[in-house]
Amino acid sequence: MMPSDKWVTSMGLDTDGTLFVKTENGITLYDICLKTSLPKTATLQAADLMKMENRPLYYRFHATLTEISEVMFNTLYDRDFTFKKGDVVVDAGARIGTFTAKVSAAVGEKGRIIAIEPEPDNYACLLKNIRANRLDNVIPIRKMLWSGQRQMPLYLSGNTSAHSAYCDAFFGSTGESIDVEADSLDNILEASGISRVDFIKMDIEGSEIEALKGMGKTLRSDVALAIAAYHPISGRPTYKAVVNELRRLGFRTSYGDEIVHARRSPDPGSI
């Protein structure tokens, strides 16, 4: 079954082959779908996707709708944080910009969102979604988040949300890779003229341990974090190393739904 579509006002395929989902909050999100262009935009109904000949489309739409539901209409990353006007947010592993689109209005025109995504097709959709929704407070960055500046391979996955610095069956790696520019968050923020950050969302497919090494300056401020940390690196899940490092730096942490949440403020439920 498709996810609940109560928040979907329409969906279909654009002329460049991307799928689109229009939501009840006025956001339209485009995602990778077909490798060919179409003569005109096609609107689809859920019943169309249930047809056997459209089964590949069904799976592509299902993945996108699930992502939008979890990120935009639930609190996968931001359960413990309320965004306010003027906040500065980092969306690392932005993919097509679902989380970016969610928080853009909340931080307002004086706020900023630094949306970091290394994979070219995802990044193209991120740019399209920024334009389509007039997200003028977003700074898109096509880089891999890492401990420092370097060129390195990004291993491609059959899952568009699972491209990784690691070639591993866990990530659905195809064995193919592309070279991308990697950099630390401290360097990226300095180059972007950002001197403070209020919230960091990080879902970067196993690179979270290395990324923390390049965030020394950023983590000295009163910043809240939500880090996806369920990835196995060297046979061990990354959340243990992430929790240990953040606690060493003076953060209180909690772990649930495969996300490490961290803040400097007291939290009786911390681990």
User: Over the stretch 23-39, which tens digit does the pLDDT of each residue have?
Assistant: 999 999 999 999 899 99
pLDDT tens for each residue of 176-213: 999 999 999 999 999 999 999 999 999 999 999 999 99
Q: What's residue 25's pLDDT? A: 94
Confidence of residue 71 (pLDDT cuts 50, 70, 90): very high
How far, in Å, are 113, 235, 243, 265 from residue 25 at the CA level? 19, 41, 35, 32
pLDDT for 1 beyond 90: no
- CB of 218 closer than 8 Å to CB of 228: no
- 192's tokens: 């972007």
| pLDDT averaged over every residue in the chain | 93
pLDDT for 164 beyond 60: yes
pLDDT for 5 beyond 80: no
Residue 244, φ and ψ in degrees, nearest 5:
-60, -45
pLDDT tens for each residue of 82-105: 999 999 999 999 999 999 999 999
Q: What's residue 61's pLDDT? A: 96
Residue with token string 């082959």: 17
Domains, the chain, in order of start with CATH, read 8-71 (no CATH), 75-263 (3.40.50.150)
pLDDT for 147 beyond 60: yes
Q: What's residue 3's pLDDT? A: 47
Integer-rounded Cα radius of gyration of the chain: 18
How much is the pTM? 0.94
Indicate the helix (H) or strand (E) that contains 151: strand 150-157
Q: By percentage, how much of the chain surpasses pLDDT 70?
A: 96
pLDDT tens for each residue of 216-249: 999 998 999 999 999 988 888 899 999 999 999 9
Q: By percentage, how much of the chain surpasses pLDDT 90?
A: 86
How far, in Å, are 6, 12, 31, 41, 160 from residue 46 at the CA level? 12, 10, 17, 16, 22
What type of residue sits at position 66? Answer: T
